[in-house]
Amino acid sequence: MELLRFLYDGAFLSAVLADSHGILLLIITIVSIVVLSKGADWLVDGSVSLAMRTRIPTIVIGATIISIGTTTPEAFVSVFAAWMGDGGLALGNGVGSIIVDTGLIFGMTCILAATPAERFILNRTGWVQAGSATLLVVLSLFAWYRAPDDPLLHRWVGFLFLVMLTGYMAVSVHWANQRNRLDSIPAAGPYENQEEMRKIKTSTVPVSWIMILGGLSLVIIGARVLIPCATEIAFRIGVPTDIIAATIVALGTSLPELMTAISAVRKGHTELTMGNIIGADILNCFFVIGAAAAVSPLEIPRTFFIFHFPAMLIILYSFRVFVFMNRNGTFKRWQGVWLLSIYLVYVVLQYAFNIEGAH
């Protein structure tokens, strides 16, 4: 039991790493990266195999099953933070992850590879993505209007989000079935390498689930160890703590999505990345922030209204505009550059003005 303590006790893990030799830290970092990479490979292969066996589009699997797994670290962090009374951290974890997922990870994906804009799904889940974030901001503004000195997202908001999460998961299955009835395109999508498709197709549904669950476990464990280890190394070589907070720590809970995206791009399954990002954004609102608010009311720091919420909405509505523009079915590289640039400006401003709150 003590061996698994590092999974839920961040202070314990940080203390252990602080007492470790520099060479051991480097070895742990390398092993964690290998574990993350292998887990991401299993996750992508299992997801594509499941899509081919069940005829559910990979973009839908990415937006539901994979997103639940990769947002689990954010949910644990936010619920624990809310339970301990740190509502700003809980809210910032969810909002910051949306900014990282869409600005950094999806932006990089568009730059590195041709990313399909599956309009049937994007015109549905994409609006839920933008709508959930907009609802969060509207409810936050209402809370600020009611109590300017101490705005809170009350527990009823958390339960509302969890109910909406249930509805989203149900309607996603309906959209997937509707998509399959209307379109004869293979469920795994048109962008995969045919040789790899034939190889993956030999996996049965139970084996596909084992690969997905095993890959998720490796990705989450690898990310859980890698971030505090990298933070400790950066601290020892003299990197300022505010830069560490704005870079390494900010990427920490979104690392599962990042590694999944890298593996998906490398294997030619970019539609899985898109589904994962959209689903993760929705779950960061409905699941991560919803569960945290249901546990305890979340305070809304003033910086969210003037910095974090605007950055989130600019990125998400830029994404919606790009979906509308891309009538040929593919995202453009310049669109990825735009999203990535907004994220980089966000990070630089956060460091330059020492803005706290998200992540």
Residue-wise pLDDT for 125-171, tens only, equals 888 999 999 999 999 999 999 988 889 999 999 999 999 999 988 88
Structure tokens at 331: 């995202």
CA distance 300 to 157: 13
Q: What are the pLDDT digits (tens) for 319-334? A: 999 988 887 778 899 9
Whether 189 has a pLDDT exceeding 50, the answer reads no
CA distance 322 to 221: 34
Q: What are the pLDDT digits (tens) for 190-249? A: 434 444 444 444 567 788 888 888 887 887 787 777 767 777 877 787 766 555 544 555
Q: What's the alpha-carbon Rg for the chain, to the nearest Å?
A: 20
Q: What is the mean pLDDT of residues 248-267?
A: 70
Give the CATH H-level superfamily of domain 58-197+249-352. Answer: NCX, central ion-binding region (1.20.1420.30)
- Contact in structure between 225 and 28 (CB atoms under 8 Å): yes
Please tell me the predicted confidence (pLDDT) of residue 248: 59
CA distance 123 to 12: 45
CA distance 131 to 142: 16
Extract long-range pairs of 128-132: CB within 8 Å, 24+ residues apart.
Answer: 128/168, 128/282, 129/278, 129/281, 129/282, 129/316, 129/319, 130/316, 130/317, 130/319, 130/320, 132/161, 132/164, 132/281, 132/282, 132/285, 132/286
Structure tokens at 150: 């101490």
Q: Sign of dihedral through CA atoms 290, 291, 295, 296?
A: negative
Please tell me the predicted confidence (pLDDT) of residue 90: 76
Greatest mean pLDDT among 22-36, 133-147, 175-189, 245-259: 133-147
Please tell me the predicted confidence (pLDDT) of residue 190: 40
CA distance 308 to 346: 8
Structure tokens at 67: 């997103």
Please tell me the predicted confidence (pLDDT) of residue 191: 38
Greatest mean pLDDT among 116-130, 197-211, 272-286: 272-286
Structure tokens at 295: 């546990």
Please tell me the predicted confidence (pLDDT) of residue 200: 46
Helices (H), the chain: 10-18, 22-54, 58-61, 67-83, 87-99, 107-112, 119-146, 155-182, 194-200, 205-236, 241-244, 250-252, 255-267, 270-283, 290-295, 302-303, 309-325, 333-352
Instruction: Write down the mean pLDDT value for the chain.
Output: 78
Q: What is the mean pLDDT of residues 46-50?
A: 78
Q: Which residues contact 221 (CB under 8 A, 6 or more apart)?
A: 7, 35, 39
- HSE-up (13 A, CA, CB side) for residue 74: 36
CA dist list (Å): 221 to 20, 153, 247: 19, 31, 20
CA distance 347 to 254: 15
Which is nearest to 260 in space by CA: 47, 90, 15, 110?
47
Whether 31 has a pLDDT exceeding 60, the answer reads yes
Phi, psi angles (nearest 5°) of residue 354: 55, 45
Looking up tokens 């060479």 gives: 23
The band of 103, judged by pLDDT with boundaries at 50, 70 and 90, is very high
- Contact in structure between 307 and 83 (CB atoms under 8 Å): no
Q: Give the residue with greater pLDDT, 55 vs 190.
A: 55
Structure tokens at 1: 């039991």
Q: Give the residue with greater pLDDT, 153 vs 255.
A: 153
- Contact in structure between 169 and 64 (CB atoms under 8 Å): yes
